[in-house]
């Protein structure tokens, strides 16, 4: 038996191990709620404000420089971003950062961190809560208009992204930060223990994709809130592309100076996905058709969570096919800034248009594929691709495996008695694992599918579409290639968000 010295024994016997002597330190929690999504009905104040904001942007080109500290900087590498549905309109003029400017940005971020780190979490949270209030009120119409014109979103897609989701990110992040600081260790009198949450030394380069203004705000805002000020943030500020060339330039510098880092730089990324809807013979056809068309074609299939592969049993295929084609014919394609009734607009740029067009050419030439509807391409005014429904005889056809990031939905029809084997196909066909949905009324089938597809998606839905996660309700993230830290090629840039986190050494 371990023998304690007399002094330690007396101290232990005298210390009140139970009751009021044990103390926890708790911080007050912020109460937040999801931002209401406005309807923009005819004659509503929000509709009038948005129409005025869109009118103001017509024909305008906004200059967006690099910003280092408080200084606006232009390099010689000037670029223009055009509107997806009208590439004759240059919506933004911007520039790519060079090596010298990147290093200046890193130095400015490290210098700013010293003061920012000392600000209480509650004070930092108030800045983001104020930003959320501004977006919710006086700046809402402006950010929506710029998202619509710069990223080709319809009014509702802009509203759920650039307003509601970004506001939610700022408010919920503030809430979580305050609550995190409240997680403190146990204190036993006379000792008082506390944890100080501080940011790691170094810098963050936050490069988000074009498709969500909310991701642009969150990817840079979250590390800033948690005391790690981004030295470079390039993302979907309304009217800007993903900034991949800047990222490629930065990552190249990191690679060339790898031996100078004390720790390896970390590339954290979320790739897109080859997201699925699996339909069982017990499914409700209405929910399948509505959910699949919305998931596949809202925002031109350019959501990371968009459904691009559909598995349908033979017994339901005639009915589902007829309904899909009927509803497909009603899809309204056009300029969302001029017609708020538009369901579908252009894809983001010429590069995306060309990539999708190649896949559609493949669909026309492959003996395993049949185009059932849509698929025409026209870039004379904007980068328009008709929403396309393809049927595949081969479940392993490349179009069932590779991410297209456009309005292309591929259907595989399976024998009803092979649904378990088809679930295995769903799980094993692609390297991705972002979102997926199962449509079935049979509770045993739902349970079985949930078990078999446990690792096939980060966000898994039952009798609902694979898109539309809401901050605070459905945490969003992927598995497999959709959630790993991996190298990034230029071809993949359109569907990635990344956070590049080297150590405190400069490039």
Residue carrying the six token digits 């069982």: 280
361 counts as catalytic? no
Contact 475, 314 (CB under 8 A): no
Q: Which two tokens stand for residue 140?
A: 């809402």
Q: Which two tokens stand for residue 303?
A: 């959501």
Cα torsion for 344, 349, 355, 361, to the nearest 10°? Answer: 50
Q: N- to C-terminal Cα distance for the chain?
A: 57
Rounded to 5 degrees, φ, ψ at 92 are: -150, 145
Burial class (CB in 10 A: 0-12, 13-18, 19+), 241: buried
Catalytic-labelled residue, pool 62, 165, 270, 298: 270
Q: Where are the alpha helices (DSSP H) in 259-342?
A: 285-297, 317-328
H helix or E strand, kind and range, residue 83: strand 78-83
Q: Which of 268, 276, 269, 271 is nearest to 456 (CA)?
A: 276
Q: Where are the alpha helices (DSSP H) in 257-395?
A: 285-297, 317-328, 350-365
Q: How far apart are CA 389 and CA 293, in angstroms?
A: 10
Catalytic residues: 270
């Amino acid at each position: 038996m371990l023998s304690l010295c007399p002094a330690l024994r007396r101290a232990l016997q005298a210390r009140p191990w139970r009751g009021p002597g044990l103390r926890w330190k708790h911080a007050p929690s912020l109460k937040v709620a999801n931002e209401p999504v406005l309807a923009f009905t005819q004659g509503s104040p929000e509709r009038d404000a948005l129409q005025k904001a869109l009118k103001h942007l017509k024909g305008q080109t906004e200059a967006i420089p690099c910003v280092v500290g408080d200084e606006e900087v232009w390099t010689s590498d000037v670029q223009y971003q055009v509107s997806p549905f009208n590439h004759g309109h240059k919506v933004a003029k911007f520039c790519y950062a060079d090596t010298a400017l990147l290093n200046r940005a890193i130095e400015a971020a490290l210098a700013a961190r010293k003061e920012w780190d000392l600000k209480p979490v509650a004070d930092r949270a108030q800045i983001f809560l104020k930003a959320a209030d501004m977006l919710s009120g006086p700046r809402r119409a402006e950010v929506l208009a710029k998202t619509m014109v710069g990223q080709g979103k319809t009014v509702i897609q802009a509203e759920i992204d650039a307003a509601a989701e970004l506001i939610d990110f700022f408010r919920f992040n503030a809430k979580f930060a305050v609550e995190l600081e409240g997680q403190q260790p146990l204190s036993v009198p006379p000792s008082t223990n506390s944890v100080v949450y501080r940011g790691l030394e170094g810098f963050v380069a936050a490069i988000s994709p074009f498709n969500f203004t909310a991701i642009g705000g969150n990817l840079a805002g979250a590390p800033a809130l948690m005391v790690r000020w981004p030295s470079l943030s390039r993302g979907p500020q309304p009217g800007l592309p993903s900034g991949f060339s800047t990222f490629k330039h930065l990552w190249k510098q990191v690679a060339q100076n790898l031996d100078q880092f004390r720790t390896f730089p970390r590339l954290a990324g979320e790739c897109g996905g080859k997201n699925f809807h699996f339909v069982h013979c017990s499914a409700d056809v209405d929910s399948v058709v509505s959910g699949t068309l919305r998931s596949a074609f809202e925002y031109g299939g350019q959501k990371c969570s968009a459904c691009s592969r559909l598995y349908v049993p033979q017994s339901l295929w005639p009915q589902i096919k007829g309904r899909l084609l009927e509803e497909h014919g009603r899809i309204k394609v056009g300029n969302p800034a001029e017609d708020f009734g538009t369901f579908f607009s252009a894809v983001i740029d010429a590069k995306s248009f060309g990539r999708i067009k190649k896949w559609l050419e493949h669909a026309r030439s492959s003996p395993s594929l049949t185009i059932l509807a849509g698929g025409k391409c026209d870039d004379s005014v904007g980068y328009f691709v008709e929403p396309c429904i393809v049927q595949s005889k081969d479940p392993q056809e490349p179009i069932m495996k590779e991410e297209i990031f456009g309005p292309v939905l591929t259907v595989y029809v399976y024998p009803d008695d092979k649904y378990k084997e088809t679930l295995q196909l769903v799980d094993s066909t692609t390297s991705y694992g972002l979102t997926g949905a199962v449509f079935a009324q049979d509770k045993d089938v739902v349970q079985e599918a949930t078990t078999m597809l446990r690792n096939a998606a980060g966000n898994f839905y039952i009798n609902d579409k694979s898109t539309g996660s809401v901050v605070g309700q459905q945490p969003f993230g992927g598995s497999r290639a959709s959630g790993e830290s991996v190298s990034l090629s230029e071809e993949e840039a359109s569907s990635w968000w990344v956070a590049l986190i080297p150590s405190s050494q400069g490039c």
